A and B are shown apart, each in its own frame.
Chain A
Amino acid sequence: MSQVYHLTTPLSNEVVSSLKSGDIVYLSGIIYTARDAAHKRLVDLLDEGKELPFDINGAIIYFVGPTPPKPGDPIGSAGPTTSYRMDSYSPRLIAEGLKGMIGKGKRNKEVIDACQKHKAIYFGATGGAGALLGKKIKSAEIVAYEELGPEAIRKLEVVDFPVTVINDSYGQDLYQMGRAQYEVK
């Protein structure tokens, strides 16, 4: 049965191990944003043996390209983008210590396997709930690649940011499990 957790970042292996596909999690603390272009740069840095612009140990990356903030707001609407575009980069970052990813939509086998092997979680946030999710973000600060605009890496402080465990560290996939349960053949 699906459980509800309130967790604070960074995530430890113990916490990751306790989560199962279908669990609902409210995240608080620091998460980082990155989309395709930023992922490519992060992996290039690793290939060159250079340091990443933030500490990846236990970190969570949110796949998001927000709308511009209105004056006085930290960020605009900020719901997840489709995750498969990050599939070719995520396993490398997971091997480096990344413990969580937040996005929407299916991941490939390599990502699901990496989550199992190195203990990490793929969380789904609600696509199209950008206004609601934007309000859970209390501050946003660019930490790298400002020139990428909405795709720059931002450090976000979140409070009770709602996500669902899609792929857990046991190789389970909520998209398959949920669908199998309600499919009428």
Chain B
Amino acid sequence: MREIAYEEIVKTVRDIIVYSACNLPKDALDAMKAAYENEKSPVSKEVLKQLLENANIASSESRPLCQDTGLAVFFVKVGADVRVVGGLLKDAINEGTEKGYKEGYLRASTCEPFSRANLKDKVGYNLPAIIHFDIVEGDKIDIEYAAKGGGSENVSRARVFPPAAGKEGVIKFVKECISDAGPNPCPPLTVGVGIGGTFEKAVISSKHALFRNIGSVNEDPEMAELEETIKTELNKLGIGTMGMGGTQTVLAVHIEANPCHIASLPVSVNVQCHSSRHTHIVI
């Protein structure tokens, strides 16, 4: 059984949080550059130029890309042959999150649902992190991290359709969601679509779909085709960068599909703004 020190996890998590806040990953940067090249609207093009300049300043001066430095979301796969010594893995991830947000001068954005009181003193600075665990073969700990902003999360939605809704129903649902959202979620967007499973499985899959690299192709040819179809439909909406009008509303559509109950077709749409701060690390 391989052993990993608690402190190593804390440090790794802290470092990826500080780095991700200021450095747009290559896949997102490349997609934004391509959007800039392809955009037909001069106003949207101007705004895309600002966003590329912003990414440049953020990384060269270590300033957060966006003031909404998000809630910390993790998908963690723990190998069956590894154990953390000196404390619990979950605590280590939370501790690393708090350290990263504090030491990186990032914003503490967790609060109580109704009083809206910030939790930074009561629970911890930007705690708790949102963590999804899975157990897999091997002796590694695989961590996918994203800083998820509020603007794009606020327009996300989920619904369970009858099976007869089919692909057409899914396309229509996603299109309505993005159309209603308009400028609010900071387009150009990545759209995560969770299909099948149970209600909550669809939602979690739509979140996880956003962690995939922009520009990667779905392994399932049927889903890869559906992704392209939905993307084309969404770009017809004309929303453009920050809603100014334009041809580049969506950078990518990512689908994660699961087997589902014979009676239902759950669909979830989770929206990611252009500030797609995500990273992947294996310890």
Task: Please classify the interface of chain B as helix (H, G, I), strand (E, B), loop, or mixed, using the class held by over half of its residues.
Answer: loop
Smallest CB separation, A37 vs chain B (Å)? 8
Interface contact B64-A127, CB-CB below 8 Å: no
A67–B149 Cα distance when bound, in Å, is 13
Are B63 and A174 neighbours in the complex by a CB distance under 8 Å? no
Q: Which chain A residues in 45-102 approach chain B with CB under 8 Å?
A: 64-70, 76-79, 81-82, 84
Given known A-B contacts A24-B46, A127-B151, A182-B245, A82 and B67 have beta carbons under 8 A apart: no
**Which of A7-15, A111-119, A129-137 has 4 or more CB atoms under 8 Å from chain B?**
A129-137
Stretch at the interface among B35-43, B81-89, B220-228: B35-43
- Are B68 and A124 neighbours in the complex by a CB distance under 8 Å? no
Number of A positions contacting B (CB below 8 A): 46
* B50: chain A residues within 8 A (beta carbon): 126, 129, 132, 162
Question: In the complex, A182 Cα to B42 Cα: how many Å?
Answer: 12
**Can you name the residue of chain A whose Cβ is closest to the Cβ of B149?**
A128
- Count of interface residues, chain B, beta-carbon cutoff 8 Å: 48
A145 at interface, CB cutoff 8 A = no
Interchain CB contact under 8 A, B65 and A65: no
Closest chain B CB from A130 CB (angstroms):
4
Cβ contact within 8 Å between A104 and B53: no
Q: Is B266 an interface residue (CB 8 A)?
A: no
* A174 cross-chain contacts in B, Cβ below 8 A: 43, 244-245
Decide if B94 is an interface residue (CB 8 Å cutoff): no
Contact residues, B224-269 vs A (CB, 8 A): 236-240, 242-247
CB distance from B193 to the nearest CB of A (A): 21
Q: How long is the Cα–Cα vector from A52 to B181 in the complex, in angstroms?
A: 34
Say how far A160's CB is from chain B's closest CB, in angstroms.
12
In whole angstroms, what is the CA distance A131 to B275 when docked? Answer: 12
Q: Is the CB of B243 within 8 A of A67?
A: no
Is there contact, CB below 8 Å, between A128 and B183? no
**In whole angstroms, what is the CA distance A105 to B242 when docked?**
8
Is B133 among interface residues, defined by CB-CB distance under 8 A? Answer: no
Asked whether B203 is an interface residue with its Cβ less than 8 Å from the other chain, the reply is no
A178 engages B186 (CB within 8 Å): no
Q: Are A68 and B105 in contact (CB under 8 A)?
A: yes
Chain A hits for B68, CB < 8 A = 79, 81, 130
Contact indicator B244/A124 (Cβ below 8 Å): yes
The reply to whether B183 and A106 form a contact with Cβ atoms under 8 Å apart is: yes
- Contact B42 A2, beta carbon cutoff 8 Å: yes
Is B118 interfacial (CB 8 A cutoff)?
yes
CB of B61 closer than 8 Å to a CB of A? yes
Check if A65 sits within 8 Å of B67, measured CB to CB.
Answer: yes
B217 → chain A closest CB, angstroms: 25
Q: Mark B50-94, 1 if CB is under 8 A from A, else 0.
A: 110110011001011111110000000000000000000000000
Give the residues in chain A near B150, CB-CB below 8 Å. 82
**Residues on B close to A: CB < 8 A?**
22, 40-44, 46-47, 50-51, 53-54, 57-58, 61, 63-69, 105-107, 118, 149-151, 154, 182-184, 186, 236-240, 242-247, 273-275
Hey, which bits of chain A sit against chain B, CB under 8 A? 2, 22, 24, 64-70, 76-79, 81-82, 84, 104-106, 124, 126-135, 149-150, 162, 164, 174-175, 177-185
